[in-house]
């Protein structure tokens, strides 16, 4: 009919080629759908992101069928997360490992992992278009329309469904009016790698989470004799960041903590990448012709990592829902919303509680001392934070009583 909108030429357009976007594209292409991924960077570049992952994330990569040799090449075994806070003895979260390292946590080299996942999506049949930036998404009666910009200028792309996988500052979420302020105070993140030569024959090192003044520092060993340094800072550091810059502030933060002072002058392997705000919320994850995955679907800094696991699980749940939607089940996208809520709502509550304690050092120290002294309570917390036990377990009144009693 004259004047009618053109029919979509693809089934699914994925905005963002990070782990969530690449994984959902690979899963949908495997199921026979025509998928296009648009990624704004022309090639991989280091940016602020998480590298620590529990065994649950490794299991998710295997379910997606990323090759084992790629997982091994990109991952450094981490026996435990060592938590260190003022006025409290340190303690180790082992994420369910019994000491045999049959199911270890890991630190990922994202320069290996991320391109490998994007390559996997292309190998499964998805079309990957790099150096393409999404500038707007709008819904129409004929389906979603995505405006993109590349070296040839600006154009509109149409698909039966759009998946936003474009991170905590998601253009897709903002364009569709579902982005909302995070439920925790605004904070700034800094991250980079330092060279830490390993000793021949030495056991695999722990990751570390060190609480500092108005913030904390996460240290995760990664392949190549390096440690990823992730620094999260509250409002009291902002003026210094503006006046002195990220590098001087990072070294100042590391120098303030006795436990990690030696890293203050360690050789940096890459530039310091920043992220602000850390935290992103959406009022809903789906709508007519669109769906959000990964950090674009909401990110709450959980203190001990696991954003990567959530990204991969959201990709799996989204792929199931989108496949059903494209095959004619109109309520399939609503099922994705319910599945994500069921999977992560309790974990978000636990993370908010942890953040509330972090904001009050005396309370965090009280809880940390009890975790250090109570093996069963500590083991449960590690399994909850590592997504190996339902987060509702940590909200059980009996568990809270065991954690907080004098």
Domain boundary among 317, 348, 379: 348
Domain boundary among 275, 296, 311: 275
Rounded mean pLDDT of 50-76? 93
Rounded mean pLDDT of 290-300? 91
Q: Residue 155's CB: how many other CB atoms inside 10 A?
A: 11
Percent of all residues in the chain with a pLDDT value above 70, rounded to a whole number: 95
- Classify residue 279 as left (phi > 0), alpha (psi -120 to 50) or beta: left
Q: What is the pLDDT of residue 94?
A: 86
What range does the domain containing 318 cover?
10-66+111-182+279-348
300 and 159 housed in the same domain: yes
In a domain, 338, yes or no: yes
Q: What is the pLDDT of residue 101?
A: 43
Confidence of residue 96 (pLDDT cuts 50, 70, 90): low
Q: What is the pLDDT of residue 110?
A: 95
Q: What mean pLDDT is reported for the chain?
A: 90
136 and 22 housed in the same domain: yes
CA atoms within 13 A on the CB side of 333: 18
Pick from 265, 273, 110: nearest CA to 195: 265
Q: What is the pLDDT of residue 385?
A: 84
43 and 163 housed in the same domain: yes
What tens digit of pLDDT does each residue of 208-225 get? 999 998 899 999 999 999
193 and 173 housed in the same domain: no
Rounded mean pLDDT of 393-404? 94
CATH number at residue 328: 3.50.50.60
301 and 336 housed in the same domain: yes
Q: Using the structure block, give the residue that is written with the tokens 């990070």.
A: 18
Pick from 300, 311, 314: nearest CA to 353: 300
In a domain, 86, yes or no: no
200 and 259 housed in the same domain: yes
In a domain, 178, yes or no: yes
Q: What is the pLDDT of residue 1?
A: 41
145 and 157 housed in the same domain: yes
52 and 173 housed in the same domain: yes
Domain boundary among 241, 275, 309: 275
pTM of the model as a whole? 0.92
Cα 135 versus chain centre, distance: 23
| SS3 of residue 318 by DSSP | helix
Confidence of residue 100 (pLDDT cuts 50, 70, 90): very low
List C-alpha distances in Å: 349 to 40, 352, 355.
33, 5, 10
CATH number at residue 271: 3.30.9.100
């Amino acid at each position: 009919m004259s004047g009618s909108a053109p029919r979509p030429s693809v089934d699914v357009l994925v905005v963002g080629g990070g782990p969530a976007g690449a994984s959902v594209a690979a899963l949908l292409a495997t199921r026979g759908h025509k998928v296009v991924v648009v990624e704004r960077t022309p090639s991989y570049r280091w940016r602020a992101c998480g590298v620590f992952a529990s065994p649950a994330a490794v299991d998710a990569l295997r379910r997606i069928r990323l090759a084992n040799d790629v997982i091994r090449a990109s991952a450094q075994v981490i026996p435990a997360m060592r938590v260190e806070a003022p006025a409290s003895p340190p303690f180790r979260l082992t994420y369910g490992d019994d000491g045999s390292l049959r199911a270890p946590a890991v630190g990922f080299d994202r320069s290996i992992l991320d391109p490998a996942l994007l390559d996997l999506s292309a190998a499964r049949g998805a079309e990957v278009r790099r150096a393409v930036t999404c500038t707007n998404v709008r819904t129409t009666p004929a389906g979603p329309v995505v405006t993109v910009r590349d070296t040839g200028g600006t154009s509109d792309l149409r698909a039966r469904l759009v998946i936003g996988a474009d991170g905590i500052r998601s253009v897709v979420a903002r364009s569709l009016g579902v982005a909302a302020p995070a439920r925790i105070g605004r904070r700034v993140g800094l991250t980079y790698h330092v060279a830490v030569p390993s000793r021949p024959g030495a056991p695999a090192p722990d990751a570390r989470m060190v609480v500092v003044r108005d913030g904390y520092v996460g240290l995760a060993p990664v392949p190549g004799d390096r440690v990823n340094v992730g620094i999260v800072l509250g409002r009291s550091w902002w003026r210094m960041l503006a006046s002195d810059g990220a590098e001087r502030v990072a070294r100042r933060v590391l120098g303030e903590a006795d436990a990690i002072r030696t890293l203050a002058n360690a050789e940096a392997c890459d530039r310091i990448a920043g992220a602000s705000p850390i935290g992103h919320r959406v009022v809903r994850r789906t709508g007519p012709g669109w769906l959000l995955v990964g950090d674009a679907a909401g990110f709450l800094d959980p203190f001990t990592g696991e954003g990567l696991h959530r990204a991969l699980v959201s990709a799996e749940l989204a792929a199931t829902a989108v496949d059903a939607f494209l095959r004619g089940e109109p309520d399939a996208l609503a099922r994705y919303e319910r599945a994500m809520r069921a999977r992560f709502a309790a974990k978000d509550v636990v993370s908010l509680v942890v953040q509330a304690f972090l904001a009050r050092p005396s309370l965090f120290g009280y809880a940390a001392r009890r975790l250090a002294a109570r093996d069963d309570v500590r083991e449960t917390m590690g399994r909850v934070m590592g997504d190996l036990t339902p987060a509702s377990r940590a909200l059980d009144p009996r568990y809270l009583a065991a954690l907080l009693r004098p």
